[in-house]
Structure 1
Amino acid sequence: MNSKRKRRTFNITLNSKMLLLMGVAAGSLLLSGMHAGDHLVAAQGSGQSADPMRAVQSKSTPVTSNLVELKANGKKAAQQGMLFENKTWVPLTFLRDELNLSLTYESASRTYIITQDYQKLKVTLYEGGVTSYLNGHYLGTPGAKLIKGRIYVPFQWLKDYLGYEGVWDGKLKQLDIVKSQLNNLEMKTVSHREDNADAVITLNAPSVAIPGNTSAEKAINRVLEKDNSEFQAYIAEALKNREGESNLAPYEFNSSYVVTYNQKGLLSLFIDKYKYTGGAHGMTVRQGYTFNLEDGSLLTLKELFGDTSDYMNIINGEIKEGFESHPGYFGGFKGIGNDYTDYYLQTDKVTFFFQVYEYTPYAAGIPEYSIAYEKLLKKNSHYQNLLP
């Protein structure tokens, strides 16, 4: 069993396999270059349409759906949601008008930007449809959609990324969206940018501030700072090795992070580190971190799910089934062990991910497989509070 899995670092002396593992975002990153209009947002809120929206509406999603009555913190909203593809979707403007989130628009790129603390959601319109990013991370399926000329986002995004939960009344077809009880901490972004003839570098690394618990704060920040400093060291070495090769195109290095869970004394996130140093495309390496906020320690799978005796069999069985149904699967998955760190928590599930070229082709991106907590936790488990 492939149980020994060391935390990846960007070491310039890499074997051929790690060179392959080190790069996956090019395809995703190239998708983020399009948008719509602030006047359109106003038009959406009033149920009207505007010409710029119509100009990009040729790929509007055809839909036979049921309307959902939306409420915000118990108050009925003027806008309605939709049941579509067995999921609830809410108008983008609901986030602004009812949840009071910041919504801005960049006309040059036709991009709407929702900001909620440390999370920045970008929804871009283009001739082929809609694409979405969270803190630079491409959001695939389900994604934002144009439905009957309006932009809708899956309610799941509000749960997973924006700090909300919902109370569903199936009889009334009503969804009350309320703020989740988040941990008392502040996420900060440590940014660094360079743009010169040799490289374009954009680094956005996470840092935490935990009022009243400086020891946990320091422990977490040591881990996050180490992740960032190792990438910076890799960049410095790559640029040193490039000296004297002025005919090369500029290198590109990016880092970004997404907080996936920030409740009940746990903090879970992942960091993407992208590099392009020539060749057909760049690559991204992803690293997951899940912390206990009481002492700042990194949590292992055994600590999270070990109260269920066969939890590793459940995890490996689900992942294996996912790989075997994946087009282009190379084969070779033998299982993960307790020291596996490539996972992150979400509101109702844990998601395991694997690097590009590890088991699947580049075009597949970073494969992810999610398992509901109900399959891994019992009512008397130490982390039973993760259960819905």
Structure 2
Amino acid sequence: MNYKMKYSAAVIAAGVLLGGLGLNGQVIDASAFKSGVKAAISTQQTSKTEAALEWNGKSLSQKGMLDHGTVYVPATAIRDALGIPLKYDAKNKEYTLGNGYNKLIAKVYDANEIYLSVNRFYAGEPGGKIVNGRLYIPYKVLNQYMGIQGQWSPSAKWLSMKPKKQNPITIKTETVKKKISNTTAVVNYPVISGLENEEVQTNINKVLKMNAEETIAGFEQNTGGLSPSGKDYPYEFQGEFVVNYNAQGLLSITTYSYSFTGGAHGMTFRKSFTFSLEDGKQMKLGDFVNMQGTNKQKLNNLVLNKMKKDGGYLGGFKGVPADADFYLKDNAAVLYFQLYDYTAYAYGFPEFELKLKDWK
């Protein structure tokens, strides 16, 4: 079996096993997976509905919430049932859930505007909600970033959750710091351990550390010719990472760096790495998505049409390159482009979720 077929099948299989809810947060009947048919309920919900919760076969006293086809779980239920730390910073109006390599941060602007990020990496829509003073997190965010899998029964309004089966490795955070002008650049990067093949482990860690060092060097280069920042608008240099996928012998990580050296706004750059933990190979999009023949034109058309439809398209797109930026998630590869590559800054990073079963 070639790389593309082998790993696409593995990720699809993992998604079926782990996915009780759809990739877009809509509710999927878990029983449908047994028959091989996905049955999504309507997203045209007009009011919030209470949902029963279960963890590892034990019913929880706290209830979840179904709102417009998305299932939400109270952050306090995750804290109490899973033992995941939950903190609240009243000054900055921020909740932090977790203390491992993926920390979920909920920035509260108001009850219906709660920005969710993982290590400051935007977790997508929908955001969180506060109902009766309690913070609720979409299940899809817990599933994608917090190592939780689940099955949903739409008839019973019941969500059963348990730990997601992940690769038997440990991921810790190391930090590179350097004084640049009158501020300190800080880049956090992942270090893995627990692989049986120490050579593969060393090579993967070398790649990730080198990327962190190159990020620091890039920060220094960006300050060339600029005056030192003042106290009113200080320079900022920050690097972080998020683990997108860690299962089936695959590890997909996105690193990102943010710098502000004056002007209207700062700049963020993303870089993703997807490794085979068997041999340390760095995977390409073409290892998961068929980019040959008519499929390549199909992909190019999909990307161009979506950019034009979503707005902010600046022109210049000539096709998806072989070394395109992407990361993995359950059932899908997510292709993306950098800020300003083809769209205006205000439109963020253009992303294109490619369901692997559709791109064999």
Give the TM-score taking structure 1 as reference length: 0.74
Q: 2 CA distance for matches of 1:181 and 1:285?
A: 30
What residue in structure 1 maps to residue 236 of structure 2? 252
Instruction: Find out whether 1:327 has 2:311 as its counterpart.
Output: yes
Tell me the distance in 1 between the aligned counterparts of 2:323 and 2:347.
25
User: Residues 101 and 67 from structure 1, CA distance in 2 versus in 1: closer, same or farther, beyond 3 angstroms?
Assistant: same
Q: Assess if the C-alpha contact under 8 Å between 1:318 and 1:371 holds in 2.
A: no
Shift of 1:253: 0.9
Number of the residue aligned with 2:4 = none
| Partners of 1:289 and 1:298 within 8 A in 2 | yes
Contact residue 229 and residue 235 of structure 2 kept, 8 A: no
The answer (yes or no) to whether the contact 1:144–1:153 under 8 Å persists in 2 is yes
Which segments of 5 or more consecutive residues in structure 2 lack a partner in the other structure? 1-44
Letter aligned with residue 210 of structure 1:
G
Quote how far apart the aligned CAs of 1:313 are. Answer: 4.1
Output the aligned Cα RMSD.
2.4
Q: 1:134 to 1:321 in 2, by over 3 A?
A: same
Distance 1:67 1:247 in 2: 51
Q: Which moved more, 1:263-272 or 1:112-121?
A: 112-121
Equivalence for 2:36? none
- Partner of 2:17 in structure 1? none
Which of 321, 325, 349 is equivalent to 2:332?
349
Match of 1:213 in 2: 197
Q: Say which of 178, 192, 210 aligns to 2:162.
A: 178
Letter in 2 for 1:332: G
Partner Cα distance (1:363, 1:193) in 2: 30
Name the % identity. Answer: 32
Residues 239 and 150 (structure 1), Cα distance of their counterparts in 2 relative to 1, 3 Å cut: same
Q: 1:290 aligns with which of 274, 280, 283?
A: 274
Q: What does 1:218-297 align with in structure 2 at a 5 Å threshold?
A: 218-239=202-223, 241-242=225-226, 245-246=227-228, 250-297=234-281
1:297-355 deviation line (CA, Å, top 9, x unaligned): 10112222349875434433432332121122223323203322x11011232211111
Counterparts of 1:23-172 in structure 2, within 5 Å, are 64-127=47-110, 129-172=113-156
Describe the shift of the 1:199–1:238 C-alpha distance in structure 2 as closer, same or farther (beyond 3 A). Answer: farther
List per-residue Cα deviations over 1:214-263 (Å, max 9, x = no partner). Answer: 12112211221221111222233445644xx4575542211011100000
Q: Is the 8 A contact 2:291 2:299 kept in 1?
A: no
Answer yes or no: is the 8 Å Cα contact 1:200–1:250 preserved in 2.
Answer: no
SS in 1 for 2:142: helix
The match for 2:15 is none
Cα distance in 2 for residues equivalent to 1:228 and 1:174? 43
Corresponding residue SS for 1:333? coil
TM-score by length of 2: 0.79
Distance (whole Å) between structure 1 residues aligned to residue 271 and residue 181 of structure 2: 29
Residues 68, 315 of structure 1: alpha-carbon distance in 2 compared, 3 angstrom cutoff: farther
Query: How many residue pairs are counted as aligned between the two chains?
Result: 313
Q: Secondary structure at the match of 1:207?
A: strand
Alpha-carbon distance in 2 for matches of 1:321, 1:313: 12
- SS of the residue corresponding to residue 246 of structure 2 reads strand
Evaluate the alpha carbon distance shift between residue 201 and residue 169 of structure 1 in structure 2; reply closer, same or farther with a 3 A threshold: same
Look up the equivalent residue of 1:72 and give its one-letter code: W
Q: CA deviation at 1:75?
A: 1.2
Distance 1:114 1:246 in 2: 36
Distance 1:143 1:104, change over 3 A: same
| Distance in 2, Cα, partners of 1:305 & 1:373 | 6
Per-residue deviation, residues 261-292 of structure 1 (Å, max 9, x unmatched): 00000000111111112222110111111110
Partner residue, 1:31 = none
Q: Which amino acid is 1:234 matched to?
A: G
Q: Please give the alpha-carbon distance, in whole angstroms, between the structure 1 residues aligned to 2:171 and 2:67.
A: 34
1:313 and 1:154, CA in 2 relative to 1: closer, same or farther beyond 3 A? farther
SS in 2 for 1:215: helix
Given that residues 49 and 67 in structure 2 are in contact (C-alpha distance below 8 angstroms), is that contact kept between their aligned partners in structure 1? Answer: yes
Aligned partners of 1:219, 1:315: CA distance in 2, in Å? 32
Structure 1 residues 226 and 169, CA, compared in 2 at 3 Å: closer, same or farther?
A: same
